[in-house]
Chains A and B, each alone.
Chain A
Amino acid sequence: MTDAGDGEQAAARARAERLRVMQIAFTANVPWNAALGLELVEAETGVATLRLPYREDLVGNPENGVLHGGVVSSVVDATCGAAVFLTVKPLRPIATLDLRIDYLRAAEPGTDLLCRARCTRVTTHVAFVQAVAHHGDPEQPVATAAATFMIFQGGQRMPGVKAP
């Protein structure tokens, strides 16, 4: 085994460990992510990918078994938020300002949904994110999305929350 090989293995182990720790924080601190069964499958600076295993209780159309739009928007919102968290250093509270989703084609019944979000720009107070939801091939998207997030700096109160 070469030193380079050891280095790669160590990097892969570090990445797997980071993913494991983030998955715990991601579900322990966010009950709705846990309720949906969301799994973090990629967590790099500025990029996050989540997997939603298909479940019958997430169906929106009783006629054809297609996932509810609210499930897709939950996954997209969670993925975009994760991408922002992975970009902003040090860690800050964030909140979704707006989220636009285009539903390009119906999600396939019985199939896991993947969502990959990329943070395209971060300023002091605002982060911009783009996301694609798909069934394994990002070139065949189920939905594309654009979101903006507020980044709360120290001492700034979150909207809708009374100052202490």
Chain B
Amino acid sequence: MPERPPFAERIAAAKASGAFTRLIEDVAFARMLGLSLVFVDGELHGRLAFAPRNIGNTALPALHGGTISALLESTAIFELLWQKDEPVLPKVISITVEYLRSGKPVDTWAHARVTRAGRRVANVHVTAWQDDRERPIATANTLLLLGSG
């Protein structure tokens, strides 16, 4: 028997208790990278806390593209979990990231917009920014597979 309840029950319980944002603490890599979730004016935001470890270019310095991609992908997944009653974690089918500006060594934020969510597939668009939301540092389009155990 697993010690923790299945993820679906954990999601439902987290939503019911108002502790949805703490779900991401279950994800080992999110803890390692410094990812968290915050509600801002009712909008779910992903946050990538700056850490020197996340640098990809020491000369500039700039964040590694992979850390920004991880923020974008996680924010898309948790937006779907928030909006829909998913029995399992949605699976990423594909993700296309456009890097618009170099990521400065500060915190990075992201917000996902579900373009379309069908029964099996969801299209999600995500934007990441730092100090100015009007000047995004990266955007992503991602396709996710829903409800597959």
Interface residues of A (CB under 8 A from B): 29-33, 35, 56-63, 67-71, 73-78, 93, 95-103, 106, 158-161
Contact = CB atoms under 8 A, between A and B. Distances in A.
A97 B59 CA distance: 18
Contact of A74 (B59, B66, B88, B102): B66
A98 B99 contact: yes
A63 B149 CA distance: 11
Nearest to A32: B64
Given A59-B28, A98-B98, A70 B60 contact: no
B101 to A, nearest CB: 3
B79 interface: no
A71 B56 contact: no
What 8 A-B pairs come out closest when comparing CB atoms?
A70-B70, A74-B66, A160-B101, A32-B64, A68-B29, A73-B69, A160-B102, A100-B96
Nearest to B8: A63
Interface in B18-61: 26-33, 52-60
Contact of A58 (B28, B52, B98): B28
A63 B88 contact: yes
A160 B138 CA distance: 11
Size range of the chain B interface in the assembly: 35 or more
B13 interface: no
Contacts of A63: 6-7, 88-89
Contact of B97 (A60, A71, A73, A159): A73
A130 to B, nearest CB: 14
B137 interface: yes
B93 A103 contact: yes
Contacts of B28: 56-60, 62
B102 A29 contact: no
Interface of B: 6-7, 26-33, 52-60, 62-67, 69-71, 73-74, 88-89, 91-104, 137
Contact of A32 (B31, B54, B91, B137): B54
A159 B102 contact: yes
A78 B53 CA distance: 15
Nearest to B103: A160
A97 B98 contact: yes
Contacts of B65: 73-74, 77, 96, 99
Contacts of A102: 93-94
Contacts of A77: 64-66, 69
A29 B89 CA distance: 35
A71 B70 contact: yes
Contact of B56 (A32, A59, A62): A32
Nearest to B137: A160
Contacts of A30: 55-58, 64
A75 B67 CA distance: 10
21 contacts: A32-B53, A32-B54, A32-B63, A32-B67, A57-B29, A58-B29, A59-B28, A63-B6, A68-B74, A69-B70, A69-B95, A70-B66, A70-B73, A71-B66, A73-B70, A74-B64, A74-B67, A77-B69, A98-B99, A102-B94, A159-B102
